[in-house]
Structure 1
Amino acid sequence: MKGKRLMDILKTLAEEFSLKDYQVTNTVNLIDEGNTIPFIARYRKELTGSIDDQVLRNLNDRLNYLRNLLERKEQVKTQINEQGKLTDEIENALAAANTLTEVEDIYRPFRPKRRTRATIARDRGLEPLSLIIFAQETKEDISVLALNYVNAENGVETSDDAIAGALDIIAETISDDANYRSYIRKATFESGFVVAKAKDENASSVYDMYKDFTEPVKKIAQHRVLAINRGEKEDVLSVKIEAPVEEILSRLNTLIVKNNVSTSKYMSMAVEDAYHRLIAPSIEREIRNDLTEKAEEGAMKVFSENLRQLLLAPPVKDKVVLALDPGFRTGCKVAVIDGTGKTLETGVIYATPPASKIEESKKKLIPMIEKHSVEIIAIGNGTASRETEQFVVDMLKEIDRKIYYIIVNEAGASVYSASKLGAEEFPDFDVALRSAVSIGRRLQDPLAELVKIDPKSIGVGQYQHDMNQKRLGETLGGVVEACVNNKLGSKAFEQCAGFLRVPGGDNWLDNTGVHPESYKAAKSLLEKLKLRYEDIGAGFWKKYGSDVNSLAKELDIGAPTLSDIIKELEKPGRDVRDEMPPPILKSDLITMEQLVPGMILKGTVRNVIDFGVFVDIGVHQDGLVHISQISDKYIKHPLDAVSVGEVVDVKVLSVDLNKKRISLSMKLNA
């Protein structure tokens, strides 16, 4: 039976992802063997049919869901069977259920309940009366019939008490019906509205646009879901879902209430009570949870892509960097780092308020810059960054040679500096000095430095702290894993070996992306083409190569693997980050006050969110390019057009000095 269930899952995955059976079977086997997604995507193309890493991750997520679904079905089936209530109809319904929600709907009537109005009514002996009313076949007057169930000792003192208790039982029975719940859930989603109101209409807050907000449930943007959730959590907004109540009640009455003079009035009362008291609040919670879950998943995809771009930002190689971690009262921490990341000298200056020891700070830094031949100054973008930048610009005017500076995103640097790893790496440095070193190294090699930090602390995206933190950690961890595999152990080495680069190693293939398991194939290729290591490089395949498929058969390796080997040999030792535009280095300062509408500037994308992108144009305050101003073509999401770290040209649309807001456009000719 277990084998059949797995086959059903494999079939479902093949259909949903439009893949062949062998691709799904091999991929699931590879995942179950403990292989990482990057490894499978890069080095097991023959087995998977070259499925890319994003599809593999989605398939893995869906695989886990389907397995959890099957497990829950078995649990529910067992629990209903233990109650002696399992029927063929229930078994078939469970087998046909495609979501966890459907399974829970089926289980609802059998789930052990806390003490409800219906259970109290049953304890009072009113279930027989509820069955009579629910059957809707009697011609007797219900109020007279109910007298037979009056029992003061049980708390049923009048016929009205008996009828009320019976209707409580009927309302709960209606509420537990999976078909009714399914209809109501769909109707609420399709025709309902998300409504947000300010709890204090006179108070101003960041949630002002949601003071009187209404949007269809099925159309609400994901970032708005997260925004109103946070507003509700902070007790600024009240949020609810307005369902098409009249439509739902009319439909339920048509389905449930029969044209019976004695019972129709009571059944209509039970239907209304079931909906308002039991079903509607539950469905509202389910829909809001579902909206939140989908919004979080969407946000995590944005986080993931932003993080990937940040990790793969081009390094500034072989440059001596003077790194500054700005501060006010505690001063600005200084670290000079050579081209390999080694710390040469450290110190503290007090160039910003309240001390403002400008000349003293210059006398300390300029000799340091000259002594170590500093080429670039990296300034952290946190507290006192703007004041430190002004100091640096003024200081650079007193140095004869050209030295550039750059603002570096320091998110997470304090987390690293206070971590066990930071203490182990720099045991003699205080926390702030470690942070300065981290800022400098981020410029020299972002990937090598950022992998030391929990990716959740890097802060790319929106509403990060509102996410399911476990799921967010898993998702962002997968991105880091895809960018650099840094695990240990024999199985882990197999996974990471191909991703490592060892310049100047004993084996020249160690400085390529060829996996050690394919070294023999790479050498066979060169022998076949009668080439030496010195002969490889850009264009070698075009000059010496032949048909990949036929050559793969001769060498007894897969064609996808051979193609990857050829790509690596055309660019041995390549760093994919070198192909990206370098960061913008600055030598002068502009302020918000200098910005005027129409000005064209070059900037760096710092963050991508659902409704736009934030661009650093060198004035300390990032400007917002709304999604409508990104491209002349329609784009569904900003990620379709731009990415974190990308250098873009922008036009200033407006500047609000009071609110410190800059509106930008990437439509330069508009």
Structure 2
Amino acid sequence: MAKEQTIQTEQQEERQAFELTAEMKAAIQERILKQIAAELQIGSGRVKTTVGLLDEGNTIPFIARYRKEMTGELDENQLRDIEERLTYLRNLENRKLEVIRLIDEQGKLTGELRSAIEQAVKLQEVEDLYRPYRQKRKTRASVAKEKGLEPLAQWIVSQPRQGDMLTEASKYINSDKGVQTAEEAVQGAMDIIAEQVADDAKIRAWVRKYTFDQGILRSEAKNAELESVYEMYYSYQEPVRKLPPHRILAINRGEREDVLKVTLEVPVERIHDYIGKQLLKGPSIVRDTLAAVVEDAYKRLLAPSIEREVRGEMTEKAEEKAIEVFAENLRNLLLQPPVKGKVVLGVDPAFRTGCKLAVVDDTGKMLEIAVTYPTPPNNKVAEAKAVFKRLIDAYGVELIVIGNGTASRETEQFVAGLIGEIKQRKLAYLIVNEAGASVYSASKLAQSEFPDLDVAERSAISIARRVQDPLAELVKIEPKAIGVGQYQHDVSQKRLEESLTFVVESAVNHVGVDVNTASPSLLSYVSGINSTLAKNIVKYRDENGKFENRQQMQKVPRLGAKAFEQCVGFLRIPDGANPLDNTPIHPESYAVVDRLFKELKLELTKLGSEELKSMLQRLEPEELATKLGVGVPTLRDILDSLLRPGRDPREELEAPIFRTDVLQLEDLTPGMELKGTVRNVIDFGAFVDIGIKNDGLVHISQMSNSYVKHPMDVVSVGDVVTVWVLNIDTKKGRVGLTMKKP
């Protein structure tokens, strides 16, 4: 009986411990939610709901589109910020618990230290607090401790006013331990104190901030005679706090390539004064010794460590900005309006190996492949014209699309001349960014699509399709291979991949996907669908024919209830049995649509009619929502979808510029007005395709008559802009442009 009671007591204690752990978890969760709400300035209730939805396995596109009432209409970027901060802060809390455990195991955890760790809001603060207790490699201080000099160090730190330091130090002379003289003992004690100073969390935090606020980053050439792209940094300096992201990354790269020597300089007197005030308590016989310790602690231990940390933080922030620019450019590129209904001739230009040609019909189906040699060294212009003309006539080609790689402008000249000769049909050409086309062409996906074609021939097909549906074609390529940024190879590749994947997912779900024509690559970016499910959907479609309704999706192997809920609203069935299946309206809201049509006394067959549009435009969502039993934001989305069923949001953007004639650098004059397409946006400006060999640069200072903080505030990739020629450098083939009307 007593044994049974003991077991029950132990079980009760275990349950209490479990309950206590649960309470701790709840307290930590509450702390995290409050911090996110304060940082992002979003109501704590909305943050709590969002975290709950994320923890339930809902995706950001799904929450942003179909859970607006719950989150108070937070957009994708706000949801992403919450998710990122949640991950960081949860990792931070786990690290705090780990550090507390490790210090406690050493028997050195005090209530004050535990509280300081628990209240830390950054990982750096936790690591600073843990630093004195971390197991270190062999240091001068650890060697001195092994020699038994820690008590002498404590005596010096106590700062006695009387006595003699060398007399005290002579007590620690021990030849067996390697301490031969009193001076050696003092030096060992100083090493111990220096490490304690360098490991002090408060001192480190102050020195780090001071270095960031007052530091000067200086770069100089290792060989001033060497010509390189880093010449502006051969004798350069700028305050750390003012360095723009692109300059930080450029200097880092120059240093990594061994062209630049980079140093971080800080006024040391103020740092010495601050550390001295923390360590020195007043007059003592060891004051000069401790002053020497302060200088040594900073120069030997603190300065190199803090410099690494500050430069690491600078680089991290610069990388974040570069990734942000890349992501925004990629989004705008992916959302370029599709050129529909045209038979396209894609050209992958080259010199020696010839231009590969691919004709694709208005659905992107490959019709014919050819190769011509109109460019040097072959210059078979007449033969090339014959091939082009035959393809144009045979298939009714309306648009020629040329990749912007090697031999692009030479090919453009040839095509412009050809168009001038063909008077009987309307024909135009377009230059497209072919970045990543070669990556796709050599991929397993391209091999499975076109097993009988070579790499360049596949590339020509990809170039043609990029105009017909940029999104569907570009998702086949690894996002970072699409060159629309700066320094993409210098940033954290993991962070870059995460950010760009999020952008592609966002773009795909924003547009929606025809489930009956989408490739596995496109489907894999749909909310709730991974690459395995994407392949399963295509396999099911191939074996069973087209999907006739959204509910059929539930028959796809391994596509469970949660995945169906997350993905189905983003999938479209254009010619399905239910017209709502070709809208962004989620099946969970079909009943609301039924009630709405009964209210309007119309049949669903009226979808897309002018009668329905006229009635919908007169409705007041705020009044109708209560009657239909739905939230106002969801009803607004439903009404918008019913007004424009089957709408592609990309079609509202400006179409690309079709050209019929080529422009030479020699044709330009300062002040000339031109129309161009923005190809790339970077921190200091934008590159604009005006139809010459190299894109012209609009510097940030030439974008507006008013102050521009960042070029992205004015232009985006794909924008068609009016520019004026500012200056022409014929030697370097460069053109400066302005968006300010002369």
TM tier relative to shorter chain: over 0.9
Q: Is the 8 A contact 1:537 1:572 kept in 2?
A: no
Contact residue 146 and residue 163 of structure 1 kept, 8 A: yes
Once the two structures are superposed, residues 486-508 of structure 1 have per-residue CA deviations (whole angstroms, 9 ceiling, x without a partner) of 32333334223222332222211
Aligned residue in 2 for 1:98: 121
- Post-superposition Cα deviations, 1:569-591, rounded to whole Å, max 9, x if no partner, equal 11111111110000001100011
In structure 2, what is the equivalent of residue 409 of structure 1? 433
Q: Given the alignment, which residue of 477, 482, 499 partners 2:570?
A: 499
Provide the rounded CA distance (Å) in 2 between the counterparts of 1:622 and 1:492: 44
- Hey, what does 1:589 align to over in structure 2? 662
Matched, 1:354 2:377: yes
- CA distance in 2 between partners of 1:475 and 1:296 (Å): 12
CA contact (8 A) 1:592 1:657 kept: yes
Q: 1:626: which partner in 2?
A: 699
Shift of 1:536: 4.7
Letter in 1 for 2:630: I
Deviations 1:61-92 (A, max 9, x none): 11111111111101100100111111001111
Work out the CA distance in 2 between the residues paired with 1:302 and 1:523.
44
How far apart are the structure 1 equivalents of 2:597 and 2:364?
36
What's the counterpart of residue 522 of structure 1?
593
Give runs of aligned pairs for residues 87-166 of structure 1, distance below 5 A. Answer: 87-166=110-189
1:561 aligns with 2:584: no
Give the match for residue 534 of structure 1. 606
**Aligned amino acid, residue 178 of structure 1:** A
Equivalent residues of 2:354, 2:374 under 8 A apart = yes
Structure 1 residues 175-324: aligned runs within 5 Å: 175-324=198-347
SS in 1 for 2:736: strand
Partner Cα distance (1:268, 1:141) in 2? 17
Contiguous gaps of at least 5 residues in structure 2: 1-23, 510-522, 524-528, 534-558
| Structure 1 residues 147 and 391: alpha-carbon distance in aligned structure 2, compared to 1, 3 A threshold | same
Count of aligned pairs: 669
Among residues 431, 455, 469, which one is paired with 2:455 in the alignment? 431
Task: Tell whether 2:443 aligns with 1:419.
Answer: yes
**Kept after mapping to 2: 8 A contact 1:196/1:240:** yes
Q: 1:652 aligns with which of 725, 731, 739?
A: 725
Deviations 1:375-396 (A, max 9, x none): 0000000111111111111222
Other structure's SS at 1:464 match: coil
Deviation string for 1:426-463 (max 9, x for gaps)?
A: 11111111110000000111001001111111111100
CA distance in 1, matches of 2:43, 2:626: 23
What residue in structure 2 maps to residue 481 of structure 1? 505
Tell me, in whole angstroms, the C-alpha distance in 2 between the residues paired with 1:353 and 1:156: 80
The superposition leaves residues 495-550 of structure 1 with CA deviations (integer Å, 9 ceiling, x where unpaired) of 23222332222211122111222122122212211234436567836666443223
- 2:67 aligns with one of 44, 47, 55: 44
Secondary structure of 1:653 counterpart: strand
Gaps of 5+ in 1: none
Q: Deviations over 1:115-168 (max 9, x none)?
A: 000001111121111111111125222123222222233222222211111100
Q: What is the match of residue 470 of structure 2?
A: 446
CA distance, structure 1, for counterparts of residue 304 and residue 679 of structure 2:
41
Cα distance in 1, alignment partners of residues 54 and 313 from structure 2: 28
Is 1:510 paired with 2:550? Answer: no
Matched, 1:667 2:734: no
1:562 alignment partner AA: L
Instruction: Tell me which residue corresponds to 2:649.
Output: 576
C-alpha distance in 2, partners of 1:554/1:258? 76
- Give 1:105 shift: 0.3
- CA separation of 1:493/1:307 partners in 2, compared to 1, >3 Å: closer, same or farther? farther
Partners of 1:425 and 1:456 in 2: CA distance: 22
* C-alpha contact 1:529 1:545 (8 A) present in aligned 2: no
- For the pair 1:20 / 2:43, whether they are aligned, the reply is yes
Give the counterpart letter for 1:88 in structure 2: G
Structure-2-length-normalised TM-score: 0.88
Matched residue of 2:421: which SS?
coil
Give the superposition deviation at 1:641: 1.1
- How high is the TM-score relative to the length of structure 1? 0.98
State whether residues 664 and 692 of structure 2, in contact with CA within 8 Å, keep that contact through their aligned partners in structure 1.
yes
In the alignment, which residue of structure 2 is the partner of 1:470?
494
Q: Name the structure 1 match of 2:548.
A: none
SS class of match (1:395): helix
Residues 485-494 or 122-131, more deviating? 485-494
Identity of aligned residues (%): 56
Mean alpha-carbon deviation: is it higher for 268-277 or for 539-548?
539-548
- Preserved CA contact (<8 Å) 2:159 2:284: no
Does the CA-based 8 Å contact 1:24-1:48 persist in structure 2?
A: yes
SS of residue matched to 2:47: helix
Counterpart secondary structure, 1:195: strand
- Residues 584, 631 of structure 1: CA spacing in aligned structure 2 closer, same or farther, 3 A cutoff? same
Secondary structure in 1 matching 2:679: strand
Alignment equivalent of 1:342, drawn from 356, 365, 385: 365
In the alignment, residue 675 of structure 2 is paired with which amino acid?
Answer: K
In the alignment, is the contact (CA less than 8 A) between 1:376 and 1:405 conserved in 2? yes
Q: Distance in 2 between matches of 1:497 and 1:591?
A: 50
Deviates more, 1:232-241 or 1:70-79: 232-241
Superposed, 1:355-370 pairs within 5 Å as 355-370=378-393
Answering whether residue 354 of structure 2 is matched by residue 331 of structure 1, we say yes
In structure 2, distance between residues paired with 1:276 and 1:433: 61
Report if aligned partners of 1:197, 1:237 keep a CA contact under 8 Å in 2. Answer: yes
* Aligned residue identity for 1:440: A
- 1:537 and 1:648, CA in 2 relative to 1: closer, same or farther beyond 3 A? farther
Counterpart CA distance in 1 for 2:395 and 2:45 is: 59
Q: In the aligned structure 1, how far is the partner of 2:444 from the partner of 2:608?
A: 44
Counterpart CA distance in 2 for 1:160 and 1:587 is: 87
Note the C-alpha offset of 1:313.
Answer: 0.1
Partner Cα distance (1:49, 1:561) in 2: 11
Deviations 1:407-442 (A, max 9, x none): 011000011111111111111111111110000000
Using the alignment, how far apart are the partners of 2:232 and 2:564 within structure 1? 52
Structure 2 SS opposite 1:482: helix
Is 1:600 paired with 2:624?
Answer: no
- 1:95 aligned partner, one-letter code: E
The answer on 1:547 being equivalent to 2:620 is yes
- Secondary structure (helix, strand or coil) at the match of 2:226 reads coil
In structure 1, C-alpha distance between the alignment counterparts of 2:617 and 2:379, rounded to whole Å = 66
Mean Cα deviation higher: 190-199 or 316-325: 190-199
Name the CA distance, whole Å, in 2 between partners of 1:238 and 1:465. 21
Q: What is the distance in 1 between the residues matched to 2:683 and 2:704?
A: 15
Cα deviation for residue 561 of structure 1 reads 0.5
Letter of the 1:495 counterpart: Q
Amino acid at match of 1:497: V
| Aligned mates of 1:175, 1:21 — CA distance in 2 | 39
**8 Å Cα contact 2:46/2:72 also seen in 1:** yes
Equivalents in 2 of 1:537, 1:281: separation in Å? 72
SS in 1 for 2:237: strand
Q: Which moved more, 1:414-423 or 1:17-26?
A: 17-26
Q: Deviations over 1:275-305 (max 9, x none)?
A: 0111111111111111111111111111111
Deviation at 1:26, TM superposition (A): 1.3
